[in-house]
Structure 1
Amino acid sequence: MTGFRRRWDRPGAVRFGLCTVVGALAVGGALTGCSASDQPSSGAATSTGGSSSAAVASTSGTGAATTGGTSTAGSTTPGSGAPDRAGSGETGTAGGANVLGPDGLGALRLGMAEDQASATGLIRVQGEATSQCSNAVLVGQPTDQRTAENFVAISAKLGVAIISVTDPAVRTPEGIGLGSTLDQVKAAYPGSASAFDDPSFADQRRTNIPVPGSTHGAVYRVQASGDTVDSLALQLSDQDCTE
């Protein structure tokens, strides 16, 4: 999706009247001043193109302007939304492409067919597909790092089934990513803390954690080296592409 820029109309200029000074010498030497009716009014609001801007009447005061739902003091600044770069191959924070979960990575979603996943521009299909699954890599992610693997498995039956990342900047909504400690993982997912005490984790240093809020019943596959997460993937709990 391509980001868009709103067109912002500038509020009309506030016109100030001329202050006419009429000097008159009274018998006692008194001086008459400006008429108060010539001073600009304060706090007048003008509506242009559906956006409100407060007119500032005092040269010493600071008006507040509301723009795109954001209040800024002293100026009217158009709101600037981050462009959605899904489909461009970029993996920045735009479009949530640095957030893994609960059901995908940016525009790449679990359950997508291969053509839909390719259309996002976030993956590049590699090699020959088997009758069961095809493999792809995430565009813009580092190559495999130790046990961390950059790959996307696409099941012929289930669609996108596994999204495995290698970029330490990618985090789950709860803040877990490559380099997180196991204590941080346990704190982020307290319901799964006991999984790290299971004998199978001691042997394989790997466990699956149910993803909070996933509509696909997804899990995070977390693998650790020592006390640190060194492999992280989001996958369907019933994925049929790997063991």
Structure 2
Amino acid sequence: MTRQQATATGMVRPFDTTSRCGVSFLRAAPPEEGTVTLSPTLGVAAISVWPGIRTPEGLRIGTSSAEMLRIYPAYEAAEDAEATNARGYTKVPGNGNALYRIQTSNGKVTALTLQLRRQDCYE
């Protein structure tokens, strides 16, 4: 989705484009949550969720690492790390162009982002 398309939905606040990749927030999100990252070449590249939001499969911030692995057995940690303290990725069922970026700490999911599989704004 382009910047114009995202803005036209009425769901995002104005984008801050002072850096290479623009950043906005979803209007329905609590303050400073629900980050939307805008790639200058790809459009909307990532959307971060906040506590209470679930994936269609039931994953949410606060889910145990064990339950996360049950829901997404193909999860792969980005570093040589255990799934209980890691940043990793799994495919979004039904969307070959997207990944869930899942951060865990102390055996719980602490951050969840829907992002393009190939994006150019972070990491």
Q: Whose radius of gyration is greater, 1 or 2?
A: 1
- Residue 40 of structure 2 corresponds to residue 156 of structure 1: yes
* 1:173 match: secondary structure: coil
Unaligned runs of 5+ residues in structure 1 are 1-111
State how far apart, in whole Å, the 1-side matches of 2:12 and 2:44 are. 11
What percentage of aligned pairs have identical amino acids? 40
State how far apart, in whole Å, the 1-side matches of 2:70 and 2:116 are. 23
Partner residue, 2:119: 239
State the shift of 1:201 in Å: 4.9
Of 180, 202, 207, the residue aligned with 2:63 is 180
Letter in 2 for 1:213: G
Of 45, 49, 59, the residue aligned with 1:165 is 49
Paired residues of 1:114 and 1:154 also in contact (CA < 8 A) = yes
- Residue 80 of structure 2 corresponds to residue 199 of structure 1: yes
Paired residues of 1:122 and 1:139 also in contact (CA < 8 A) = yes
* 1:125 match: secondary structure: coil
State the shift of 1:143 in Å: 2.9
* 1:161-212 Cα deviation digits (max 9, x unpaired): 000111x2211110001111111111111223xx35x62457x621011111
State how far apart, in whole Å, the 2-side matches of 1:191 and 1:135 are. 29
Paired residues of 1:201 and 1:207 also in contact (CA < 8 A) = no
* 1:121-177 Cα deviation digits (max 9, x unpaired): 1111243343x4211111121234xxxx531111121110000111x2211110001
Displacement over 4 Å in runs of 4+:
none
- Residue 100 of structure 2 corresponds to residue 211 of structure 1: no
* 1:124 match: secondary structure: coil
* 1:93-116 Cα deviation digits (max 9, x unpaired): xxxxxxxxxxxxxxxxxxx00010
The structure where strand makes up a greater share of residues is 2
Letter in 2 for 1:157: T
Partner residue, 2:21: 133
Paired residues of 1:129 and 1:135 also in contact (CA < 8 A) = no
State how far apart, in whole Å, the 1-side matches of 2:35 and 2:74 are. 28
Q: TM-score, normalised to structure 1's length?
A: 0.46
| Larger RCO of the pair (alpha carbons < 8 Å, separation 6+) | 2
Q: TM-score, normalised to structure 2's length?
A: 0.87
Letter in 2 for 1:233: T
State how far apart, in whole Å, the 1-side matches of 2:16 and 2:43 are. 17
Q: Over the residues paired in the alignment, what is the CA RMSD in angstroms?
A: 2.1
Letter in 1 for 2:37: A
